[in-house]
């Protein structure tokens, strides 16, 4: 018996740049595809969800106010950190989704590349979706996209890592902050992502990761008056409808669940879904028919 006894990790939430346990003190058993015990994950409560919204709101000003160039650098830094932990995530994804090592490796590689893809979008989305409008009159106006605010993300249930990153990265690339509910049955890659975010340059509170019962956590987030938008990616049909109804109370922006192949290169919809368009007008002082106006 020369086998060394390994050290287990206590998985914790990632909220406001810190790693709290659930305030409820609850955990639930996470198993692999063969029902073997993997870890006890925090079973977050409504209070954890509300705390996460507070953290996300606090982080919004700084993150949305950062330059797009800076946000791109920060997102790319996340990819760098992920690359360094590639083996860990291959193992976690293999366990979580019951994949072979090579398939899990393909998932992790695609996930890292997805971060890189979104890192490159931060300073381009405004040019693609905004611009100057040719107004018929002595005015000049510019339409620019702006982040909508705090976005609650119900992460995909099956794709615990690639799917997760595919819905989180676009939200923060554009300057929003996120409260993410990890896949209910496979939350460990998401919780480990929190560790990566904490050691990259993403400011605390920009991404907050909760694990637990999706329905229990999503309901208070959908009804929360300080949440601006909700991505229903991981909600089933009945839950999605219930959440959309709750979201109507403060007219949250809602991205409905849709069939997505997360291996495909995404379009811009996941970014534009959480962007507002602001149009700013200004007189040009053009010389009118009546003579000088400046």
**Is the Cβ of residue 15 or residue 230 nearer to another protein in the bound state?**
230
d(CA 257, CA 232): 5
**Is the Cβ of residue 25 or residue 267 nearer to another protein in the bound state?**
267
| Chain contacts with another protein (rule: CB under 8 A) | 128-129, 133-137, 139, 141, 143, 148, 228, 237, 240-241, 244-245, 247-251, 253, 267, 269, 276-283
The least CB distance from residue 282 to another protein, in Å, is: 5
The least CB distance from residue 116 to another protein, in Å, is: 23
Of 191, 183, 156, 151, nearest to 57 by C-alpha is 151
**Is the Cβ of residue 194 or residue 257 nearer to another protein in the bound state?**
257
> Buried (b) or exposed (e) across 55-79, using 16+ Cβ within 10 A?
bbbbbbeebbebebeebbebbbbbb
The least CB distance from residue 175 to another protein, in Å, is: 12
The least CB distance from residue 62 to another protein, in Å, is: 14
**Is the Cβ of residue 40 or residue 70 nearer to another protein in the bound state?**
70
Distant-in-sequence, close-in-space partners of 203: CB < 8 Å, separation ≥ 6: 17, 59, 62, 63
d(CA 28, CA 185): 10
The least CB distance from residue 293 to another protein, in Å, is: 11
Assess contact for 210 and 13: CB atoms under 8 A: yes
Please name the residue that has the structure tokens 């905004």: 130
Task: Work out the burial of residue 280: count CB atoms within 10 Å of its CB; fewer than 13 is exposed, 13-18 middle, 19 or more buried.
Answer: exposed
Tally of residues, the chain: 294
**Is the Cβ of residue 165 or residue 255 nearer to another protein in the bound state?**
255
Distant-in-sequence, close-in-space partners of 54: CB < 8 Å, separation ≥ 6: 16, 226
The least CB distance from residue 136 to another protein, in Å, is: 6
Q: How many CA atoms lie within 13 A of 77 on its CB side?
A: 14
The least CB distance from residue 46 to another protein, in Å, is: 21
Task: Work out the burial of residue 107: count CB atoms within 10 Å of its CB; fewer than 13 is exposed, 13-18 middle, 19 or more buried.
Answer: buried
């Amino acid at each position: 018996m020369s086998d060394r006894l390994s050290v287990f990790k206590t998985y914790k939430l990632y909220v406001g740049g810190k790693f709290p346990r659930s305030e409820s003190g609850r955990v639930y058993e996470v198993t692999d595809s063969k029902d073997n015990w993997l870890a006890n994950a925090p079973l977050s409560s409504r209070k954890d969800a509300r705390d996460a919204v507070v953290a996300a709101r606090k982080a919004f000003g700084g993150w949305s106010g950062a330059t797009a160039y800076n946000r791109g650098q920060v997102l790319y830094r996340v990819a760098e950190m992920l690359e360094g932990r590639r083996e860990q995530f291959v193992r976690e994804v293999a366990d979580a989704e019951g994949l072979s090592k090579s398939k899990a490796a393909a998932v992790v590689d695609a996930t890292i590349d997805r971060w890189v893809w979104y890192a490159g979008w931060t300073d381009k989305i405004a040019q693609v979706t905004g611009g100057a409008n040719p107004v018929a009159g002595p005015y000049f106006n510019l339409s620019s996209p702006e982040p909508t605010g705090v976005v609650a993300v119900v992460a995909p249930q099956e794709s615990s890592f690639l799917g997760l990153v595919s819905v989180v990265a676009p939200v923060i690339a554009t300057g929003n902050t996120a409260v993410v509910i990890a896949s209910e049955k496979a939350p460990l890659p998401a919780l480990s992502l929190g560790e990566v975010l904490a050691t990259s340059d993403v400011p605390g509170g920009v991404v907050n990761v909760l694990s637990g019962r999706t329905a229990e956590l999503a309901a208070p987030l959908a009804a929360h008056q300080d949440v601006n938008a909700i991505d229903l990616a991981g909600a089933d049909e009945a839950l999605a409808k219930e959440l959309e109804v709750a979201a109507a109370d403060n007219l949250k922006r809602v991205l409905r669940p849709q069939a997505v192949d997360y291996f495909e290169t995404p379009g811009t919809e996941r970014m534009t879904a959480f962007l507002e368009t602001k149009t700013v007008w200004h007189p040009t002082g053009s010389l009118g028919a009546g003579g000088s106006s400046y």
